[in-house]
Amino acid sequence: MAHRTSARDVVKAIKDVDFPAGKDDLVQAASRSGAPQEVVKALRGIPPEQYANREEVARSVRTSPDSGLGTSPAQRAEQAREGGRQGQSQHLREVPKPPVEDELDR
């Protein structure tokens, strides 16, 4: 699955947010700022936590691997493997079914 949202787009969409801020505040701010629908959707996929700053939000959002905010290739690879924070955007991951589920579907 391609993630076309960049970390810079996310940061730009939430530039007027006062931190700390929760997920709902971030989504509303992005919507008010006229952010692209992909950015708003990406923010909806983050865990419902309090975020201390924009960089923390950018690290939590699934973004395209080449977007980065000064992250190293290893950090970008880890985000691609792990999907940001644990439990985040699980429904967006492309994960093969376990063999047991595959057998049950037959």
Residue 63: the pLDDT is 67
Contact residues for 84 (Cβ-Cβ < 8 A; gap 6+): 46, 59, 60, 61, 62
Which tokens is 105 given?
Answer: 């579907």
Report pLDDT digits (tens) over 46-91.
888 899 988 888 888 876 655 555 566 776 676 666 654 555 455 5
Question: What is the rounded end-to-end Cα distance, in angstroms, of the chain?
Answer: 25
Paired residues of 50 in beta bridges: 22
Q: Residue 1: pLDDT band by 50, 70, 90 thresholds?
A: very low
Using CA atoms, how far apart are residues 78 and 104, in angstroms rounded to an integer?
A: 32
60 in Cβ contact with 84 (< 8 Å): yes
Q: What's phi and psi for 3, nearest 5 deg?
A: -105, 110
3-7, 85-89, 101-105: lowest mean pLDDT where? 85-89
pLDDT of residue 100: 81
Q: What region does 6 belong to: left with phi over 0, alpha with psi -120 to 50, or beta?
A: beta
